[in-house]
Structure 1
Amino acid sequence: MKNRNLIVSVLLVLLLAFSASATILNLTNLPATTYAGYYVGTVGGNIDGSPNPDPAWFVCNDFFSRTPVPSTLEDVWLSDVIIGTGLVWAKFVDQPPGSRYPTDEDYDKYQRAAILMGWMLDNPASIGPIQFAIWNLFAPATPDPGDTSLWISMVMAEDRSLYDYSKVLVLTDYAPGNRNQEFMAGRATLIETGEVPEPATMAMLATGILAIFFIRRRQRRALE
């Protein structure tokens, strides 16, 4: 029994080592868009000074914390959002930092934010309300201007189990020893197609189907 416990402990340590690590986050450029008085969208930068960073952009998920840009965050911890290995160091979790047991509610917030990040990239005209939708997932007291509530409703209706989150990162600033500002990078993609759905397109399609239904019903009545 003691040997088994030792093996489990070693495995947990190894998992922690591979799933999270401290690094430096350089923020170099403010988002190009403002909405409702706030900068919204992607922040330019790099991880650990890489000349060709992947990703080269980050999204703030924390409405109530402020970080000047440009700036360098020197004690940033990385986590993924994959159930079972992710959110080890993330800010908006119910468990202490380093815990291996985030709740499903924790994963739900981060995974839906990753879905919204993909929608943000594919719907540049809606960057503002999508950014506020991301902020609302983590802090419901965040304002919800414009179409924010619509994007929240759409992402909450998504089946998050259909998405691949392997390219999503959570970057949590710990200096000076507290979970402060947080950013996310990457995007969730549908497992079946490798593409991110476009909610606006889906809504238009649904509207078109309804229109065809009513036109055909009207035609049938005219023939009766």
Structure 2
Amino acid sequence: MSTIALITGANQGIGLATATRLAKDHDYHVIIGSRNSAAGEKAAKAIEAEGGKASSIQLDLTSDDSITAAAKTIETRFGRLDILVNNAAILLDGKDPKLSLRDMLTRTLETNVIGTACVTKAMLPLLRKSALPRVVFVSSRMGSLGLATDRSTMWYAIDYKTYDASKAALNMLALNYSRELEGTGARVNVACPGLIKTNLTQYHKYGGQPEDGARRIVELATLGKDGPTETFSNSEGLIPW
């Protein structure tokens, strides 16, 4: 049976690029997690049209009912989950001047941290049924405490406090869920895709292509049993926590 991989927020951008690479280059069955069911189904059909194995599930990180239903669907159809890529995220900083700091933090943390934690928790029983569970949390160098005082970074002078805080929290979540999966042989890692032209970054003119952002995620999602775990890295190497 194929390796089963769930990618959240996979109907577009880096998530879709990751799903496509896992399906085409590694022959995995990818599950497109998407808040919008129609968009998820469209993405899955596009991968299938290119010869890959794919399906989709409706997955809204802000809805416990949606998360529970998604886990049940995967259990019923596949009986296990081999790979979870926590990719879905939002970035609200600087986009809506009418949005209060409290609302921006609430909405950002609800998706990037709380929702991701709830999805991971729901998938733990399925991951434990895998011979080699792998979990990748898609984060950002902007959430690195070690780089937060580095004035040479391109984002140092830009106010991204909400997004940065959510990614720093996400990094801690990854380490906590690694501990919860201890003894299973799981590889749990954090990946920074870099600045990529996606809807999240408003297609930043200096960004790379989604395929570039997917590279390190795919590498971590396809690790063998002796691969690294509890790391934070991008395609260039390790990033300080």
Give TM-score, length-normalised by structure 2.
0.24
Higher-Rg structure is 1
Which structure shows the bigger proportion of residues in strand conformation? Answer: 1
TM-score by length of structure 1 reads 0.26
